[in-house]
Each structure stands twice: as structure tokens, then as C-alpha cells.
Amino acid sequence: MTWIYTLTAVFIVSLVSFIGILTIALKMEVLKKIVMFLVSLSAGALLGGAFFHLIPEAAEEFGFTLRLGVFILSGILVFFALEKIICWRHCHIPTSKDHPHPVAIMNLIGDAFHNLIDGAIIAASFLVSFPLGVSTTVAVLLHEIPQEIGDFGVLVHGGFGRFKALLLNFASALTSVLGAVLVLSLNVKVETIAWFLVPFTAGGFIYIAGSDLIPEMKKDIVPLNSLIQMFFLLLGLAIMLALVVFG
């Protein structure tokens, strides 16, 4: 039954990635106006996820040691290297559906790592008890909703069409199933997997937000838009902080 409970839970969590479907009814002109605000929300959610969730969780489990700093830095460096590989040839082709911006691909990779961890954590919780598994699933759901909204905005901003962005976001979310299957198959404690992946993913989130998303936000210098971007950035941070404080 543990397998059924776990796989059902992670699949429900994966369906949250389709939250961007709420924008399908919007005209493209309207979506283009709000997409940068979704990018701002994503930047806040990524930074909040890293500094309010992942790093404190890793520090609580393993201590704030040199090893923790090395793993966070390794996430930053690996994502920097990935972006270099993706952008190996300097390109002047405008962003489009056929030529997506690298930030969208980077965001998909970072989100895939994050979802892998979520699936592993849910599975490990169900191995302990059913109530713990349910409470963990609810916590992950609350955490995923604001981030998936932002991730969808990043994919659209990066050049993907809305339907393709939804499908890619869902494909990235399905790595949670892989994480769950690995933990259930090996019947291992979550610490065995999380000791490296949690701080590594935090480093990836910091890199994506700091080097890709925030610079994109800086390109719009209209005062009112800048204020709204700051609001959504702070909103993303506030939501992630609230999930820690009240969760």
C-alpha cells in the first residue's frame, strides 16, 4: 500500500505544474504584459526556497559545515557550467517558440532536481507512517503552487508557447515520481539522498534567480513596472517564508 499511497501523492503534486492553464483564456497581449511579473514571482520563490527551506533544512540535518558550503557552491558552479554549454555558441537569433531563451531550459533543469527531492521526501515520509506522508504531501503542494506559477511565466518568457510550456513543466514535475521510486525501491532514509541534493539544488536556485531571472527584470526600467516587479519578488519571498513560519 505504501507504493500506492506514495505514487498517488507524487502524481497529484505533479499535476500542480498545470496551474499555468489558468492563463490559457488570456489574450497573448495580456499574457506578455504580466509574464515579467510571473518571472519576478519565480525569482522570489526560488530565492525563498533556497534560503528559507533548502539551506536551513540541510543545516539542521547536517550542521552548517564547510561541506554544506561546498555543496551549495557546487550547485552554483554546475548550473553556471550548464548555462555555458547551452549557450556555447554566441547567438543573435531572437527568442521565439523555435529558439527558446537559455533561462527557460535552465529553469527546467533546476526544477527537475527540486521535484526529484520532493518525490524522495514524500516517499521517505510514507515509509515512516501514512499520516506523516499525507502531511508532507500537503506541505509540498503548498510549496509548489507559487513556484509552478512562476516557472510557467519563465518558460513563456523564454520563448515557449503556452501549451508547450505546460507540457514541459509537467515533464519536469514528473521527476518527483523518479525520486519516489528510487527511495521506495532502495527503502532508504531520505537523509541518504538529501545530504547532497538539497544544498546542491539550493545553489542551483540561487544561480538561476541571481544570474538569469533578476537580470531579465532589470531590463524593464519603467518606474511603475519596476515597483510591481519588486512587489512580486517580495511576494514570492513572503509566501515561502510564510510556509516555513505557519507550515
| Tens of pLDDT, residue by residue, the chain (247 residues) | 888 988 999 998 888 888 777 766 667 677 777 878 888 888 888 898 889 888 888 888 778 888 899 999 998 998 888 777 765 544 444 555 555 667 788 878 888 887 887 888 788 778 767 876 776 787 677 667 767 777 787 888 778 888 888 888 888 888 999 989 988 887 766 556 667 777 887 888 898 888 878 888 888 888 898 999 999 999 989 988 887 888 6
The answer to whether residue 82 is domain-embedded is yes
With respect to residue 28, please indicate whether it lies within any of the assigned structural domains. Answer: no
Which amino acid would we find at residue 8? Answer: T
Q: Give the integer Cα–Cα distance in Å for 169 and 20.
A: 9
**Domain assignment of residue 22, yes or no:** no
Residue 185 lies in a domain: yes
Cα–Cα distance for residue pair 109/42, rounded to 1 Å: 14
Decide if 26 is inside a domain: no
Helix, strand, coil share (%) of the chain residues, nearest 5: 85, 0, 15
Confirm whether 27 is domain-assigned. Answer: no
| Any domain includes 29 | no
Residues in contact with 9: Cβ distance below 8 Å, sequence separation at least 6, in sequence order: 122, 126, 133, 134, 137
| Residue 87 placed within a domain | yes
The domain total for the chain is: 1
Q: How far apart are CA 105 and CA 86, in angstroms?
A: 8
Domain that holds residue 98: 2-17+37-246
3-state secondary structure of 89: coil
